[in-house]
Structure 1
């Protein structure tokens, strides 16, 4: 049982990353409100920061997964963890779809708008409709397989990188001592990758400022007026899901959801500022390992969860679809609503990380279910950026909770360490303070984890 002490020697408040990000968001809102023309020009700051983080995400996943799997004695565990994770993702995201459906049915956020689809700007939605191509299951599976290994890293798609990482980790584990030089090389490379990520995260305040300034300057807080009920309903539903559904799941796993949110507050603020969950991926994986989750579980669950465990996007899909129907006075039968629900179960997968991906997926859903006029999506096009922040937040938080649950399920969770870290204590051996960068890839041996 490790010994823990309370962390000391905290940084000055102005040097803490989450404080800097929070101040940057506030400054971005102010600039967007008072100088909108200037604020719109700040967009490259947010886009540039997201691109910098996405630049290293593939390497973060590769180093974490390969190093973790190559150290596993029982390779059947990889398939078992993956299978359990997919079942968990499907169950929780289905609950999210149901919650969005139920809230839209009860609250009716679109009632009373009486929008005429013939007068709406269909051209504004047409550009997104062109991207929302229907994809078969076979095409989805084939797209997981990259054309070449280099192609997977060049495109930065998460699932192909995970596939390659699992294969490399499996082969490396079979090589035994012959593979030790390669394992040492990957571990050394992980030092470089995580060091680079920590350096890039110092630019998070700049990226959050640029993204938030652009959002407020381009769309304006005033654009929320006519559709404030929809935005408020979506944020309230997201909060109910996080504190209700995920809170209960966290309680079952043995931790407090409020303490967990406080622990990952830097990632929460970065997602809030950039409207994308991608920039939070490296930091989330690092903190989950520091929390006591084993490296193989984190490496498998979090990246795949970014594709399959899209809780925030699932809430948005059913809530926004029924909103458009209500706003355009389109009467739906139960069978039609169920059809929307069924299609959304498929189209919501993969609608994570990229800003606006959920909007494209929703356009694709309404295209498959033509009862609701696609032109009605023009109603929420202007405010979708505000809702994308909540979508990305719920997606990211949901995947963090999922990793802890899977670690507990597999008895790969250091429960004593998790409780100590969430309570603000640190291990005496190699103590780290909150905000410091403890090398996450130096995970404890799997045998050191105890059952929660």
Structure 2
């Protein structure tokens, strides 16, 4: 793949004002200021952010398809593909569980909701009725069946990452087994992928406008003042996520051979996009390309990144256990060790498939609480007002977690170019 999408507006060496990173930062600040000074006008700018997110989501399914198919077709055997997939799923299971446990431990330690003393009967459950409705019927069986698209074309139109991933894996395996006879098709898919990344590069020119609209809406609609009432929960969640990134993921980064701060610097433009749009999906195509540029092999990137967007949601996992404990503490609901372990187990299952779409974490929390009867689902109304602010942190942590996971698995598999990684993460190459 080319690296045009990684730096479509030129590097910072060409002048700060010509850097897309700079203009995204300007859009972020201008949006926050507009929403704060002119709340009604800021809230009306929501279509700008929605349009940018739709542009990115429009291209995600074909990008994932081409990336996964090209990666699998480039593997030498099914055994190699299975080995990479098994390592990825094992990594996701371990670190998802660790994220849930960290959220549970910090929630018990800080107890941010302990002094609220709210009677669950006084809560307005209608405020979260819509989220409960979306969460109903989200059983493990429903989740597994939903992975299978109704038609091959439906995998590209449903918006479900796992459906596209399933079709791409089957297509890639078929190309691999067909050998030389399928080489022209594999080459055509690779070239199509290059064209799609060019399209991503063009779409990224609209990023400053999209980030401006999304941030103006967030601040204008929810207001900075809404944070104060639940500052303890929001602050604890951000601090816990930062702890997980710099300590847990930082340790993985050191094992892989780089500094977590260097990776964050390298991905700073994408992190700004995620922050502004409150969705990690907007930066998925750029993440794929940047990880390849950083030395991870295309087959590993092609399998791990799309899979991680559904199975490796560190931020969402931290959020679910902390939010559930906050509701329990605020409503004076005692949770035994067994209740908390049940909460952790249910959250592990319900978080799968909650890709980086705005609000998905809140729906997943509703699904989790509906299975754990000890915690009143109506208590979700307590955190509804600040969920949008926590959604941004969820998305950032999910995004960073998948970047770290891909590089770690690439090294584990012996398919990480250390020289390319060192060059990419050097300060002068950060884009």
Among 298, 303, 307, the residue aligned to 2:301: 298
**Is contact 2:12-2:18 (8 Å) kept?**
no
2:244 aligns with 241
Instruction: Map residues 173-192 of structure 1 onto 2, 5 A cutoff.
Output: 173-192=176-195
Q: Tell whether the 8 Å contact from 1:144 to 1:159 is kept in structure 2 after alignment.
A: yes
Q: For residues 382-426 of structure 1, give each alpha carbon's deviation from its aligned partner in whole angstroms, at most 9, with x where no partner exists.
A: 10000000000000000000000110011111111101211146x
TM-score normalised to structure 2 length: 0.95
Deviation at 1:174, TM superposition (A): 2.6
Name the structure 1 match of 2:348.
Answer: 345
Q: Which residue of 2 aligns with 1:145?
A: 148
Residue 133 of structure 1 deviates from its aligned partner by: 2.0
Q: How many residues align?
A: 422
Q: What per-residue deviation string (whole Å, max 9, x for no partner) do you get for residues 64-98 of structure 1?
A: 11112112112211111111111100100111001
Is residue 357 from structure 1 mapped to residue 360 from structure 2 by the alignment? yes
Structure 2: gaps of 5 or more residues = 1-9
Q: CA deviation at 1:152?
A: 0.3
Of 128-137 and 304-313, the range deviating more from structure 2: 128-137
Distance, in Å, in 1 between the alignment partners of 2:140 and 2:126 is 29
Q: Which residue of 2 aligns with 1:315?
A: 318
| Residues 235-255 of structure 1: CA deviation (Å, up to 9, x unaligned) | 000000000000001111111
- CA RMSD in angstroms comes to 1.4
CA distance in 2, matches of 1:10, 1:168: 42
Alpha-carbon distance between aligned partners in 1 of 2:337 and 2:427, rounded to the nearest angstrom: 49
Equivalent in the alignment of 1:101: 104
Separation of aligned partners in 1, 2:140 and 2:375: 24
- The equivalent residue for 2:17 is 14
Q: What per-residue deviation string (whole Å, max 9, x for no partner) do you get for residues 409-449 of structure 1? A: 11111111101211146xxxxxxx654xxxxxxxxxxxxxx
Q: 1:193 aligns with which of 193, 196, 201?
A: 196
> Normalising by the residue count of structure 1, what TM-score does the alignment of the two structures yield?
0.91
Is the CA contact 1:352–1:395 (under 8 Å) kept in the aligned structure 2? no
Specify the alignment match of 2:7 in structure 1. none
| C-alpha deviation, 1:8, in angstroms | 8.3
Q: Say whether the 8 Å CA contact 1:313–1:352 is kept in structure 2.
A: no
Structure 2 equivalent of residue 23 of structure 1 = 26
Structure 1 unmatched runs, 5+: 1-6, 426-432, 436-452
Greater share of helix residues, 1 or 2? 2
Tell me if structure 2 keeps the 8 A contact 1:314–1:344: yes
Deviation at 1:9, TM superposition (A): 7.9
Distance 1:137 1:76 in 2: 28
Aligned residue number for residue 394 of structure 2: 391
Query: For 1:226, what is the secondary structure of its paired residue?
Result: helix
